[in-house]
Structure 1
């Protein structure tokens, strides 16, 4: 059972994206939490078969700083967008990156 339904999560996600529209001067730890929330939101969109806001959130992840701390989150954003777009080539490529980096167990948790 989820605490919030997708409509509520969409409102919260929009609020976060509005408040943190520019990451200049934002502590990296806060950006990392926002990235985790964003990926969780994309997972909720997938589970609810609701992709209307997914592109906005994925684009938001892409705008985050190019920092190694955020790499996995940004890659997961791309993974979910490929999932929504039914881009099997991109999905396979991203899955392979995680496998090559030793995250075989983690990959099993992702939707296919």
Structure 2
């Protein structure tokens, strides 16, 4: 993120009549945020998404202002992910409306359409039109297993493909990342872990066990970083689910619900 983005945040904060302390609401320190406004420091995309969310900033205006900024693409992905977990169909549709008019990567629009269909409970399994669009995006990359935006898209597309084809894609990802996952950046670990969780969800519904153990093994190899706790916990959840250890599985479900993630658990295989 560059100084222009810091200036944007400062302008929006002043429009709201908020002090820096009121604006950040303990998401990051005031001193850290001050450096961001002055273009002296970057901060995590996840923190940025929280800031624009709690202050009700218009994501579409943000996209319009910074549509050539690669960090904004990541911000859109994070915002879509949060809207999906919140099951906020209205927000996702607003983002889609603007993306259709913007010059941002087409894969963002495709992911948005996937999320809308999912939230509307539409059946996207074996959807040939979506499969074709996805394949076209895949063909744009020489090494898709290392492209961040494509991996985000792939994580949202588990229901499109038949299991044979999906297993081929997952096998490539597992071969690429299993032995080095713990040494990657937090964002990269989170991205690959999210793919494994979505894949395991699909495997359970399809009674497909081909790569289940390998996927759970990758999740178990994530760095013991507190920020990755959810992904490691879900790795345990799927281990218990596939092994029919229902008491332990239900304990994790209850813990997630008690921690305020009841909407998230709706999407988990049970």
Structure 1 length-normalised TM? 0.87
Asked if 1:104 corresponds to 2:270, the answer is no
Higher relative contact order (CA 8 A, sep 6+): 1
- For structure 2, the 5+ residue unaligned runs are 1-124, 126-158
**Distance (Å, rounded) in 1 between the aligned partners of 2:176 and 2:203:** 21
- 1:52 aligns with 210
**Distance (Å, rounded) in 1 between the aligned partners of 2:207 and 2:193:** 21
**Distance (Å, rounded) in 1 between the aligned partners of 2:181 and 2:265:** 29
- 2:173 aligns with 16
More displaced stretch, 41-50 vs 64-73: 64-73
- 1:80 aligns with 238
| Contact 2:240–2:246 under 8 Å retained in 1 | yes
Q: Select the structure of larger CA radius of gyration.
A: 2
**Distance (Å, rounded) in 2 between the aligned partners of 1:50 and 1:92:** 22
**Distance (Å, rounded) in 1 between the aligned partners of 2:162 and 2:197:** 16
| Contact 1:61–1:74 under 8 Å retained in 2 | yes
- 2:194 aligns with 36
- 1:4 aligns with 161
| Contact 1:42–1:77 under 8 Å retained in 2 | no
Displacement of 1:108 in angstroms is 3.0
Q: How many residues were matched structurally?
A: 112
Structure 2 length-normalised TM? 0.39
Which stretches of structure 1, 4 residues or longer, exceed 4 Å deviation after superposition?
Answer: none
Displacement of 1:28 in angstroms is 1.7
| Contact 2:196–2:215 under 8 Å retained in 1 | yes
Deviations 1:61-97 (A, max 9, x none): 1001112222112211221221111111111111122
Q: Secondary structure at the residue paired with 2:181?
A: coil
Provide the alpha-carbon RMSD of the alignment. Answer: 1.7
